[in-house]
Structure 1
């Protein structure tokens, strides 16, 4: 399948391009900036367009790509409004085209480990699930992600990962309670979120901040039979930042294991290796790894939490 990549900033250059080049069956033939997209849409040899641009541009570019008869992959978040997502889903269905969203953190090592642990039942009935995306960036940077505007806030940019993972594990919540704030001096966009998803007795807490200097937990789970705590983020994005190739020795291995504690023991749980290539490998086989309908559910949760 011949692929064009629109957007060659951090995500396009560091994440999408190396992954696309690493997967057999996908041929990255064109890279374009936003002011060059007409060349992509007019190119009859391009079959798939990957959109890796600022969040507020996703709808327009995807709509134009689908209208030009191209299959489309959009970096997360899918769109910045629910209505935009619905329109793209309808257009893709009308044209008989593939539409997928790059929720790559379904293939994080720690998330795969948590999913397997829950499936194994060692925690008993889960009562408390906590998922963090914390980092220490006290100074506001001059980039679109930290400027006021649709979809530019940390809740949409990073929270979308945590929401998608929670929906994969637990489905649609009974209710949502969101607390969003701008905490850094000079900030113009939300840089803190604490969102509670209610599932009967169980609570799923999604938390993110740019003012966490300590080593925060990535996952905290408490059940009727035990607890699991895992520190450290997945290693794949840092590896890509260093220029390491997907699939190179040690790819996707997370050396920071989590700890499972029960009434009778405490032991480390080896982390299952992650692999972001799985997304594009599915695309190369003609499968949709993240259907747009699932990504739309993420936007619904993001919107509800933002509304309070």
Structure 2
């Protein structure tokens, strides 16, 4: 018997939403993930429906219930942030395993209720934290595991770019949009937050620039920066340890720009996610030794491959939904710190 004979049927996803996020960041990643296939797009927009059919040859329907009737195995949600909780709950109630894009919810209470709802129904659920499979983040994890930095004392991370317009309202505000990734990565690396302090420019939900300081329970301090109006973005990462530092100067993982150019995991094959040497990070050790660190290849398709495997009973979901609750709880504290101009303590 060949491997093909024992391989499970691909998991057919319905993608809710075919705006920029659905079209560029979900559809091609699902289509290029082993064990997954894009079968249905849910949208009521005629122009987006025509585009989805032309680009992926999929069925297009107007509701989640219609997608279920077509026999899909799972749902991916890429719609405006304010709709995430309601649509995720609808999918859970229909018994469909569901991936929800960030922000997972607009507050921690809603996130908790959704995760508990999924657990009670026995339905698989995961937040789309694809940035855990960024090239630079995977490389950073490798550097930390190898231990040359010593004990980490400070983690600096930024999502900064320049745009002539305002941040899209659909993201729920820059703190929740960019912050969902920045906070998730910091918590994933260094554990829960003891306290947060934050500053932002613009009202809640309309921020175009922010800074967050997190003191982790384990003692590491994270300094996170997000900006929509930064003409000269700072380094993506700078990690300071007791024996050295690691810096990634390139402002963003290559997978984003490749997808926006129209290339996909399916079209790029084995070259997918590879960073040119000019974008590799630098490792500097005390005493003056400095060297380039070859980057891991970015692997966003691994998220959907892992979720598809979980649907087939072959492992856990790639991101625990309770991680999304922890991120939402921390982001709620960030908003509280900005509003009251004070440090907010999450744990004593």
Number of the residue aligned with 1:18: 28
| Gap runs ≥5 in structure 2 | 1-10, 46-61, 311-315, 338-348
Q: CA deviation at 1:44?
A: 5.4
For 1:38 and 1:258, locate their aligned partners in 2 and report how far apart those are by CA, in whole Å. Answer: 43
2:169 is aligned with 1:144: yes
Q: Structure 1 residue aligned with 2:226, among 173, 189, 208?
A: 208
Q: CA deviation at 1:301?
A: 0.7
Q: Structure 2 residue aligned with 1:31, among 34, 38, 41?
A: 41
Q: Structure 1 residue aligned with 2:15, among 5, 11, 26?
A: 5
TM-score using structure 2 length? 0.81
- Report if aligned partners of 2:214, 2:221 keep a CA contact under 8 Å in 1: yes
Number of the residue aligned with 1:148: none
- Report if aligned partners of 1:76, 1:103 keep a CA contact under 8 Å in 2: yes
2:280 is aligned with 1:257: yes
User: Alpha carbon RMSD of aligned pairs, Å?
Assistant: 1.9
Higher alpha-carbon deviation: 119-128 or 275-284: 119-128
More helix per residue: 2
Q: Structure 2 residue aligned with 1:74, among 93, 100, 107?
A: 100
For 1:179 and 1:297, locate their aligned partners in 2 and report how far apart those are by CA, in whole Å. Answer: 20
Q: Deviations along 1:11-70, whole A, 9 cap, x unmatched?
A: 101111111111233232210116822443551512211110011100011111111111
For 1:73 and 1:154, locate their aligned partners in 2 and report how far apart those are by CA, in whole Å. Answer: 21
2:181 is aligned with 1:161: yes
- Report if aligned partners of 2:106, 2:172 keep a CA contact under 8 Å in 1: no
Q: Structure 1 residue aligned with 2:132, among 106, 110, 124?
A: 106
Match of 2:114, SS?
Answer: helix
- Report if aligned partners of 2:174, 2:205 keep a CA contact under 8 Å in 1: no
Residues 201 and 251 of structure 1, relative CA distance in 2, 3 Å threshold: same
Match of 1:174, SS?
Answer: strand
Q: CA deviation at 1:79?
A: 0.7
TM-score using structure 1 length? 0.92
Number of the residue aligned with 2:6: none
For 1:42 and 1:120, locate their aligned partners in 2 and report how far apart those are by CA, in whole Å. Answer: 46
Q: CA deviation at 1:224?
A: 1.3
For 2:64 and 2:143, locate their aligned partners in 1 and report how far apart those are by CA, in whole Å. Answer: 47
For 1:268 and 1:241, locate their aligned partners in 2 and report how far apart those are by CA, in whole Å. Answer: 28
Q: Deviations along 1:104-130, whole A, 9 cap, x unmatched?
A: 000001011111111111111211110
Q: Deviations along 1:221-247, whole A, 9 cap, x unmatched?
A: 111111111111100011111111215
Match of 1:217, SS?
Answer: coil
